[in-house]
């Protein structure tokens, strides 16, 4: 009796690109390195790419809306990649998604190995249960971001304390947090919030990703090239709050620092003085500025508590007025950046249309002026011709017939003429 042949699942990580896309051209050498690395380690994941402009129907079928788009195709499923576009991050994404959805941890040694290898990962502990079904559903949605494991209670490290079973835990920042359905709500939402380390070096991409968590982001905005004490001090204060008060604030706050204020200035539509501390709500573009001088950790904790109890007023937001201000600010920033990066290009882009419009306006104005002048000259000429004709007729009437002497006509006074009529 022959054993049944299992279907082979084809796994491929593909890049959808457009030939004219600058970001696609920048990704090309990295993508080639990904292909060589995956081939050298004998990975079952194939690496490919597709010109989405030539095969637009296929790209549309996979929901490609921008370039480049990276997707891992696993059987009938397609997983979007939304991480940093580096070789290591893309390869890790391919390995994570191409493997088992939930990976078992059969021993403490394996558990310890995963702790050393991954900065953040989730573990389901227990047997079959409704919670496990929810865990599987969440993993199928969020496997693109993080790792999911399962283990028995005997495998869990001794320092882990569980009040009840089954349970879902997240391990990060050299500690762990246990999911509480009553305090944390939906399991999938909780996993999405907790998939980041508590303190991060921020950039624009991370801030965008944090917008889905619903957490406020407390940032030390500094210049890492500046060696002054104040820059290092503010960064250290945020790190201490993230470490020492994580049990108190980890459900509501994400902590980190950002090098430079360019991105923050764009969000705030204002010039932020560096170094400083700002708290962002990236889900609705609100922000909180300092209401006090941050001298120590206690001042920062008080500032956070004031935000939570509503004492500090939120600024910004996504109201209609703020959206209009955003449009004006973005237009102004674009124009300024063009002139800063390439003055000649700026003069060409904005000077040429203005020049054409000026010439058109001048042409319209001069055309109206010339038309009025010609019409006026025509009316004057017509009046002169009529006068000439009247003078000619008057002369003809005054000329005597042949043989008659020419007697000058003397105009009689008005009263004499009236008497003659009588």
Residues with active-site annotation: 21, 24
Nearest one of 295, 308, 217 to 263, comparing CA atoms: 217
Distance of alpha carbon 108 from alpha carbon 97, whole angstroms: 24
What are 55's two structure tokens?
């095969």
Nearest one of 357, 376, 354, 355 to 365, comparing CA atoms: 357
Cβ–Cβ < 8 Å for 230, 222: no
Please provide the DSSP assignment of 82-140 as one string. Answer: -S--SHHHHHHHHHHHHS-SSEE--SHHHHHHHHHH-SEEEEEESSS-HHHHHHHHHHH
Distance of alpha carbon 101 from alpha carbon 169, whole angstroms: 17
Residues paired with 266 in a beta bridge? none
Distance of alpha carbon 154 from alpha carbon 127, whole angstroms: 13
For the chain, the helix, strand and coil percentages under 3-state DSSP, each to the nearest 5: 50, 20, 35
What are 120's two structure tokens?
């953040």
């Amino acid at each position: 009796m022959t054993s049944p042949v299992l279907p082979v699942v084809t796994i491929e990580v593909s890049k959808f690109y457009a030939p004219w896309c600058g970001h696609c051209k920048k990704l090309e050498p990295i993508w080639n390195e990904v292909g060589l690395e995956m081939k050298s380690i004998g990975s079952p994941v194939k690496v490919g790419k597709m010109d989405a402009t030539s095969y637009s129907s296929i790209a549309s079928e996979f929901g490609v809306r921008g370039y480049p788009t990276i997707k891992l195709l696993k059987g009938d499923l397609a997983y979007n990649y939304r991480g940093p576009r580096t070789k290591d991050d893309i390869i890790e994404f391919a390995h994570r998604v191409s493997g088992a959805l939930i990976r078992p941890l059969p021993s403490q040694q394996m558990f310890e190995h995963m702790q050393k290898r991954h900065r953040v990962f989730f573990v389901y502990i227990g047997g079959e249960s409704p919670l496990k079904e929810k865990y599987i559903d969440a993993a199928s949605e969020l496997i693109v971001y993080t790792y999911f494991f399962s283990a028995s209670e005997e495998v869990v490290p001794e320092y882990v304390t569980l009040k009840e079973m089954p349970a879902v835990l997240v391990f990060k920042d050299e500690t762990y947090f246990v999911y509480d359905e009553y305090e944390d709500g939906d399991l999938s939402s909780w996993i999405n919030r907790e998939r980041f380390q508590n303190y991060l070096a921020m950039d624009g991409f991370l801030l965008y990703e944090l917008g889905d968590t619903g957490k406020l982001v407390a940032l030390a905005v500094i210049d890492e090239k500046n060696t002054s004490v104040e820059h290092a001090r503010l960064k250290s204060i945020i790190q201490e709050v993230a470490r020492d008060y994580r049990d108190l604030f980890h459900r509501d706050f994400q902590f980190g620092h950002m090098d430079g204020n360019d991105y923050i200035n764009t969000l705030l539509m204002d010039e932020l003085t560096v170094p400083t501390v700002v708290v962002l709500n990236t889900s609705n573009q609100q922000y909180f500025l300092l209401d006090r001088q941050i001298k120590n950790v206690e001042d920062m904790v008080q500032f956070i508590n004031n935000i939570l109890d509503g004492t500090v007023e939120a600024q910004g937001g996504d109201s209609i007025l703020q959206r209009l201000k955003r449009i004006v600010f973005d237009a102004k920033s674009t124009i300024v950046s063009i002139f800063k990066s390439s003055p000649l290009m700026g003069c060409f882009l904005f000077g040429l249309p203005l020049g054409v419009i000026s010439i058109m306006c001048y042409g319209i104005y001069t055309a109206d002026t010339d038309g009025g002048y010609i019409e006026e000259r025509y009316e004057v000429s017509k009046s002169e011709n009529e006068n000439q004709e009247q003078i000619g007729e008057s002369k003809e009437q005054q000329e005597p017939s042949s043989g008659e002497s020419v007697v000058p006509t003397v105009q009689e006074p008005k009263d004499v003429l009236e008497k003659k009529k009588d």
